[in-house]
Protein backbone atom coordinates (compact mmCIF):
# COMPACT_ATOMS: atom_id res chain seq x y z
CA UNK A 1 0.00 0.00 0.00
CA UNK A 2 1.67 3.31 -0.96
CA UNK A 3 2.16 5.75 1.91
CA UNK A 4 0.43 8.55 -0.01
CA UNK A 5 -2.86 6.65 -0.26
CA UNK A 6 -5.13 8.97 1.70
CA UNK A 7 -8.08 8.61 -0.63
CA UNK A 8 -10.17 6.92 2.03
CA UNK A 9 -10.97 3.76 0.10
CA UNK A 10 -8.76 1.39 2.08
CA UNK A 11 -10.48 -0.96 4.54
CA UNK A 12 -9.30 -3.61 7.01
CA UNK A 13 -11.36 -6.50 8.28
CA UNK A 14 -11.47 -7.64 11.89
CA UNK A 15 -12.93 -10.78 13.28
CA UNK A 16 -13.68 -11.38 16.96
CA UNK A 17 -11.42 -13.83 18.80
CA UNK A 18 -13.87 -14.07 21.69
CA UNK A 19 -16.58 -12.31 23.59
CA UNK A 20 -17.31 -10.77 27.01
CA UNK A 21 -19.66 -12.56 29.41
CA UNK A 22 -20.69 -10.02 32.06
CA UNK A 23 -23.61 -9.12 34.33
CA UNK A 24 -23.56 -5.66 32.67
CA UNK A 25 -26.15 -5.60 29.91
CA UNK A 26 -26.91 -1.91 29.38
CA UNK A 27 -24.39 0.65 28.13
CA UNK A 28 -26.02 3.43 30.16
CA UNK A 29 -25.51 1.49 33.42
CA UNK A 30 -21.89 0.53 32.71
CA UNK A 31 -18.99 2.14 34.58
CA UNK A 32 -16.75 4.22 32.33
CA UNK A 33 -13.42 2.52 33.07
CA UNK A 34 -12.26 -0.79 34.64
CA UNK A 35 -11.14 0.96 37.85
CA UNK A 36 -14.54 2.61 38.40
CA UNK A 37 -16.32 -0.21 40.27
CA UNK A 38 -16.62 -2.50 37.25
CA UNK A 39 -17.65 -6.12 38.01
CA UNK A 40 -15.63 -9.25 37.19
CA UNK A 41 -16.23 -10.67 33.71
CA UNK A 42 -15.42 -13.82 31.76
CA UNK A 43 -13.63 -13.67 28.41
CA UNK A 44 -14.86 -16.59 26.29
CA UNK A 45 -12.46 -17.36 23.45
CA UNK A 46 -13.24 -19.00 20.15
CA UNK A 47 -11.59 -22.47 20.26
CA UNK A 48 -9.44 -21.87 17.18
CA UNK A 49 -7.54 -19.12 19.04
CA UNK A 50 -6.77 -21.26 22.13
CA UNK A 51 -3.07 -21.53 21.17
CA UNK A 52 -2.75 -17.74 21.16
CA UNK A 53 -4.03 -17.65 24.76
CA UNK A 54 -1.96 -20.61 26.02
CA UNK A 55 0.46 -18.49 28.07
CA UNK A 56 -2.04 -16.26 29.87
CA UNK A 57 -1.84 -16.78 33.65
CA UNK A 58 -3.69 -15.55 36.76
CA UNK A 59 -2.12 -12.34 38.07
CA UNK A 60 -1.11 -11.05 34.61
CA UNK A 61 -2.05 -7.48 33.70
CA UNK A 62 -3.36 -7.38 30.14
CA UNK A 63 -4.97 -4.89 27.79
CA UNK A 64 -8.17 -6.17 26.19
CA UNK A 65 -9.05 -4.65 22.83
CA UNK A 66 -12.79 -4.74 22.19
CA UNK A 67 -15.17 -3.75 19.43
CA UNK A 68 -17.58 -1.22 20.95
CA UNK A 69 -20.51 -2.52 18.98
CA UNK A 70 -23.04 -0.05 20.39
CA UNK A 71 -20.96 3.01 19.40
CA UNK A 72 -21.71 5.68 16.79
CA UNK A 73 -18.97 5.94 14.17
CA UNK A 74 -20.02 9.33 12.75
CA UNK A 75 -19.46 11.23 16.03
CA UNK A 76 -16.35 13.47 15.90
CA UNK A 77 -16.92 15.56 19.08
CA UNK A 78 -18.60 14.81 22.44
CA UNK A 79 -19.16 16.32 25.86
CA UNK A 80 -16.53 14.40 27.91
CA UNK A 81 -18.10 11.68 30.06
CA UNK A 82 -21.53 12.83 28.87
CA UNK A 83 -21.29 15.97 31.06
CA UNK A 84 -23.04 18.72 29.10
CA UNK A 85 -21.41 21.42 31.24
CA UNK A 86 -18.07 20.45 29.63
CA UNK A 87 -17.45 21.89 26.13
CA UNK A 88 -17.63 19.62 23.07
CA UNK A 89 -14.26 17.96 22.59
CA UNK A 90 -12.80 16.15 19.57
CA UNK A 91 -13.17 12.43 20.24
CA UNK A 92 -9.43 11.74 19.77
CA UNK A 93 -8.86 13.75 22.99
CA UNK A 94 -11.50 11.66 24.85
CA UNK A 95 -12.20 8.03 25.72
CA UNK A 96 -15.74 8.24 24.30
CA UNK A 97 -16.88 4.93 22.74
CA UNK A 98 -18.31 7.02 19.88
CA UNK A 99 -15.44 7.46 17.37
CA UNK A 100 -14.59 6.53 13.75
CA UNK A 101 -13.09 3.12 14.66
CA UNK A 102 -14.76 2.17 17.96
CA UNK A 103 -12.03 0.03 19.49
CA UNK A 104 -12.03 -0.11 23.31
CA UNK A 105 -8.91 -0.50 25.48
CA UNK A 106 -9.35 -2.06 28.92
CA UNK A 107 -6.40 -2.66 31.23
CA UNK A 108 -7.40 -5.53 33.53
CA UNK A 109 -5.96 -8.26 35.78
CA UNK A 110 -6.52 -11.93 34.97
CA UNK A 111 -7.83 -13.74 38.05
CA UNK A 112 -8.48 -17.24 36.66
CA UNK A 113 -7.78 -19.22 33.49
CA UNK A 114 -9.95 -22.10 32.24
CA UNK A 115 -10.51 -24.19 29.12
CA UNK A 116 -12.95 -21.79 27.50
CA UNK A 117 -11.15 -18.57 28.35
CA UNK A 118 -10.32 -16.53 31.45
CA UNK A 119 -11.77 -14.25 34.12
CA UNK A 120 -10.76 -10.63 34.74
CA UNK A 121 -11.19 -8.67 37.97
CA UNK A 122 -13.09 -5.64 36.67
CA UNK A 123 -14.38 -4.82 33.20
CA UNK A 124 -16.76 -2.04 32.13
CA UNK A 125 -17.59 -3.61 28.73
CA UNK A 126 -21.14 -4.94 28.45
CA UNK A 127 -22.17 -8.56 27.92
CA UNK A 128 -21.57 -9.77 24.38
CA UNK A 129 -18.86 -7.22 23.53
CA UNK A 130 -16.53 -8.76 20.90
CA UNK A 131 -12.86 -9.22 21.89
CA UNK A 132 -10.36 -8.30 19.15
CA UNK A 133 -7.01 -8.79 20.84
CA UNK A 134 -5.26 -9.36 24.17
CA UNK A 135 -1.83 -7.85 24.91
CA UNK A 136 0.36 -7.95 28.02
CA UNK A 137 0.98 -4.65 29.79
CA UNK A 138 4.63 -3.81 29.12
CA UNK A 139 7.01 -3.89 32.07
CA UNK A 140 10.38 -2.17 32.15
CA UNK A 141 12.61 -2.56 29.08
CA UNK A 142 14.89 -5.17 30.66
CA UNK A 143 11.98 -7.54 31.43
CA UNK A 144 10.49 -7.60 27.92
CA UNK B 1 -25.81 -9.33 17.75
CA UNK B 2 -26.63 -12.21 20.15
CA UNK B 3 -23.99 -12.83 22.79
CA UNK B 4 -23.85 -16.54 21.92
CA UNK B 5 -22.76 -15.88 18.33
CA UNK B 6 -19.37 -17.58 18.36
CA UNK B 7 -19.74 -19.08 14.91
CA UNK B 8 -16.87 -17.00 13.57
CA UNK B 9 -18.75 -15.38 10.70
CA UNK B 10 -18.97 -11.89 12.20
CA UNK B 11 -16.68 -9.21 10.72
CA UNK B 12 -16.02 -5.53 11.46
CA UNK B 13 -14.64 -3.03 9.02
CA UNK B 14 -11.98 -0.45 9.87
CA UNK B 15 -10.88 2.49 7.82
CA UNK B 16 -7.69 4.46 8.44
CA UNK B 17 -8.09 7.96 9.88
CA UNK B 18 -4.51 8.84 8.96
CA UNK B 19 -1.05 7.49 8.35
CA UNK B 20 2.47 7.53 9.83
CA UNK B 21 5.20 9.55 8.10
CA UNK B 22 8.53 8.31 9.47
CA UNK B 23 12.16 7.80 8.46
CA UNK B 24 11.69 4.11 9.41
CA UNK B 25 10.92 2.14 6.27
CA UNK B 26 11.87 -1.44 7.11
CA UNK B 27 10.17 -3.55 9.77
CA UNK B 28 13.40 -5.42 10.52
CA UNK B 29 15.22 -2.15 11.37
CA UNK B 30 12.44 -0.73 13.54
CA UNK B 31 12.74 -0.52 17.34
CA UNK B 32 10.26 -2.73 19.16
CA UNK B 33 8.59 -0.07 21.35
CA UNK B 34 8.37 3.77 21.40
CA UNK B 35 10.77 4.00 24.38
CA UNK B 36 13.48 1.96 22.64
CA UNK B 37 15.23 4.74 20.66
CA UNK B 38 12.39 5.27 18.19
CA UNK B 39 12.64 8.45 16.05
CA UNK B 40 10.07 11.27 15.92
CA UNK B 41 7.26 10.76 13.42
CA UNK B 42 4.44 12.78 11.87
CA UNK B 43 0.84 11.59 12.03
CA UNK B 44 -0.94 12.81 8.88
CA UNK B 45 -4.71 12.81 9.31
CA UNK B 46 -7.35 12.53 6.64
CA UNK B 47 -9.05 15.97 6.46
CA UNK B 48 -12.53 14.63 7.20
CA UNK B 49 -11.37 13.60 10.70
CA UNK B 50 -9.87 17.02 11.59
CA UNK B 51 -12.71 17.78 14.03
CA UNK B 52 -11.93 14.60 15.98
CA UNK B 53 -8.32 15.81 16.45
CA UNK B 54 -9.21 19.44 17.27
CA UNK B 55 -8.35 19.18 20.98
CA UNK B 56 -4.97 17.44 20.71
CA UNK B 57 -2.20 19.64 22.14
CA UNK B 58 1.60 19.51 22.47
CA UNK B 59 2.61 17.75 25.67
CA UNK B 60 -0.36 15.36 25.70
CA UNK B 61 0.34 11.65 26.19
CA UNK B 62 -1.78 9.63 23.77
CA UNK B 63 -2.13 6.03 22.65
CA UNK B 64 -1.99 5.58 18.88
CA UNK B 65 -3.80 2.54 17.52
CA UNK B 66 -2.30 1.37 14.24
CA UNK B 67 -2.95 -1.33 11.68
CA UNK B 68 0.23 -3.43 11.50
CA UNK B 69 -0.08 -3.95 7.78
CA UNK B 70 3.07 -6.09 7.47
CA UNK B 71 1.92 -8.61 10.10
CA UNK B 72 0.94 -12.26 9.68
CA UNK B 73 -2.59 -12.96 10.91
CA UNK B 74 -2.26 -16.75 11.03
CA UNK B 75 0.52 -16.77 13.64
CA UNK B 76 -0.69 -17.95 17.07
CA UNK B 77 2.69 -18.45 18.84
CA UNK B 78 6.10 -16.74 18.51
CA UNK B 79 9.52 -16.62 20.12
CA UNK B 80 9.23 -13.38 22.17
CA UNK B 81 11.09 -10.47 20.55
CA UNK B 82 12.33 -12.86 17.85
CA UNK B 83 14.75 -14.50 20.33
CA UNK B 84 14.84 -18.19 19.37
CA UNK B 85 16.35 -19.12 22.75
CA UNK B 86 13.01 -18.16 24.34
CA UNK B 87 10.26 -20.81 24.10
CA UNK B 88 7.31 -20.30 21.71
CA UNK B 89 4.66 -18.24 23.46
CA UNK B 90 1.00 -17.68 22.59
CA UNK B 91 0.76 -14.29 20.90
CA UNK B 92 -1.82 -12.96 23.38
CA UNK B 93 0.95 -13.07 26.03
CA UNK B 94 3.34 -11.13 23.73
CA UNK B 95 3.49 -7.82 21.89
CA UNK B 96 4.32 -9.53 18.58
CA UNK B 97 2.84 -7.70 15.56
CA UNK B 98 1.89 -11.13 14.20
CA UNK B 99 -1.56 -11.93 15.70
CA UNK B 100 -5.15 -12.53 14.51
CA UNK B 101 -6.12 -8.83 14.54
CA UNK B 102 -2.82 -6.95 14.10
CA UNK B 103 -3.65 -3.72 15.92
CA UNK B 104 -0.64 -1.90 17.38
CA UNK B 105 -0.69 0.22 20.57
CA UNK B 106 1.90 2.99 20.87
CA UNK B 107 1.99 5.30 23.90
CA UNK B 108 3.62 8.54 22.72
CA UNK B 109 3.92 12.25 23.54
CA UNK B 110 2.63 14.89 21.11
CA UNK B 111 5.35 17.50 20.49
CA UNK B 112 3.70 19.71 17.84
CA UNK B 113 0.28 20.13 16.23
CA UNK B 114 -0.29 21.46 12.71
CA UNK B 115 -3.01 21.71 10.08
CA UNK B 116 -2.35 18.30 8.56
CA UNK B 117 -1.82 16.39 11.78
CA UNK B 118 0.71 16.27 14.60
CA UNK B 119 4.22 15.15 15.54
CA UNK B 120 5.11 12.59 18.22
CA UNK B 121 8.42 12.26 20.05
CA UNK B 122 9.20 8.61 19.36
CA UNK B 123 7.34 6.00 17.32
CA UNK B 124 8.51 2.54 16.25
CA UNK B 125 5.83 2.12 13.53
CA UNK B 126 7.19 2.21 9.97
CA UNK B 127 6.41 4.81 7.31
CA UNK B 128 2.94 4.40 5.83
CA UNK B 129 1.45 2.53 8.80
CA UNK B 130 -2.31 3.26 8.93
CA UNK B 131 -3.65 5.03 12.04
CA UNK B 132 -6.95 3.65 13.36
CA UNK B 133 -7.57 5.70 16.49
CA UNK B 134 -6.01 8.14 18.96
CA UNK B 135 -6.90 8.07 22.67
CA UNK B 136 -5.64 10.12 25.62
CA UNK B 137 -3.71 8.25 28.30
CA UNK B 138 -6.01 8.15 31.34
CA UNK B 139 -5.00 10.19 34.36
CA UNK B 140 -6.31 9.64 37.87
CA UNK B 141 -10.07 9.16 38.24
CA UNK B 142 -10.72 12.71 39.51
CA UNK B 143 -9.12 14.32 36.42
CA UNK B 144 -11.14 12.40 33.78
Q: How far, in Å, CA of A58 to CA of A94, rounded?
A: 31
Give percent of chain B with pLDDT exceeding 70. Answer: 88
* CA-closest candidate to residue B95, choices A4, A136, A10: A136
Q: Which fold has domain B18-138?
A: Elongation Factor Tu (Ef-tu); domain 3 (2.40.30)
- For residue A13, what is the nearest residue in chain B, using CA coordinates? B13
Mutant choice from A68, A101, A128, A134 vs B, greatest count of B C-beta within 10 A: A101
> Do B8 and A46 make contact, defined as CB atoms within 8 angstroms?
yes
| ipTM metric | 0.87
Q: Give the Cβ contact number of residue A43 at 10 Å.
A: 28
Q: What is the 3-state secondary structure (H, E, C) of chain B?
A: CCCCCCCCCCCEEECCCEEEECCCCCHHHCCCCCCCCCCCEEEEECHHHHHHHCCCCCCCEEEEEEECCCCCCCCCEECHHHCCCCCCEEHHHCCCCCCCCCEEEEEEEEEEECCCEEEECCCCCCCCCEEEEEEECCCCHHHC
The reported pLDDT for the residue numbered B26 is 81
> How far apart are the CA of B54 and the nearest CA of chain A, in angstroms?
5
The reported pLDDT for the residue numbered B51 is 95
Which residues on adjacent β-strands are paired with residue A67? Answer: A103
pLDDT mean across residues, chain B? 88
DSSP state of A112: E
Contacts of A113 in chain B (CB under 8 A): none
> Do A133 and B17 make contact, defined as CB atoms within 8 angstroms?
no
Give percent of chain B with pLDDT exceeding 90. Answer: 70
> How far apart are the CA of B142 and the nearest CA of chain A, in angstroms?
11
Query: What mean pLDDT do residues B50-74 have?
Result: 95
pLDDT mean values, one per 10 residues, chain A (144 residues): 54 95 83 77 96 96 94 93 89 95 96 96 92 89 58
Give the 3-state secondary structure of residue A64: strand
The reported pLDDT for the residue numbered A86 is 87
* CA-closest candidate to residue A42, choices A110, A136, A132, A119: A119
- For residue B95, what is the nearest residue in chain A, using CA coordinates? A135
Which is more confident, B113 or B8?
Answer: B113
- Of the pLDDT bands very low, low, confident and very high (cuts 50, 70, 90), residue B140 is low
Query: What mean pLDDT do residues B49-60 have?
Result: 96
Which is more confident, B86 or B75?
Answer: B75
> Do A55 and B92 make contact, defined as CB atoms within 8 angstroms?
yes
The reported pLDDT for the residue numbered B141 is 60
The reported pLDDT for the residue numbered B83 is 86
- Of the pLDDT bands very low, low, confident and very high (cuts 50, 70, 90), residue B3 is very low
> How far apart are the CA of A23 and the nearest CA of chain B, in angstroms?
12
pLDDT digits (tens, 9 = 90+) for B102-120: 999 999 999 999 999 999 9
Query: What mean pLDDT do residues B47-67 have?
Result: 96
Q: Where are the alpha helices (DSSP H) in chain A?
A: none
CB proximity under 8 Å: B 15-34 to A: 15-19, 21, 32-33
Q: How far, in Å, CA of A133 to CA of A63, rounded?
A: 8
Domain range list for chain A: 18-137
The reported pLDDT for the residue numbered B1 is 42
Above 60 in pLDDT, residue B8? Answer: no
The reported pLDDT for the residue numbered A70 is 85
The reported pLDDT for the residue numbered A15 is 93
> Do A90 and B11 make contact, defined as CB atoms within 8 angstroms?
no
Q: Give the Cβ contact number of residue B87 at 10 Å.
A: 10
Residue A55 at interface with chain B, using a CB cutoff of 8 Å? yes
- Selected from 2.40.30.70, 3.30.70.1400, 3.50.50.60, 3.40.109.10, the CATH number assigned to the domain covering A18-137 reads 2.40.30.70
> Do A135 and B92 make contact, defined as CB atoms within 8 angstroms?
yes
Amino acid sequence: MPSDDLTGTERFELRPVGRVSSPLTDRTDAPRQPDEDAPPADILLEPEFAAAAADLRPGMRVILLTWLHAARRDTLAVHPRGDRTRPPTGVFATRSPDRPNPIGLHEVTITAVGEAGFTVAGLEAIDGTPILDIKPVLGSIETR
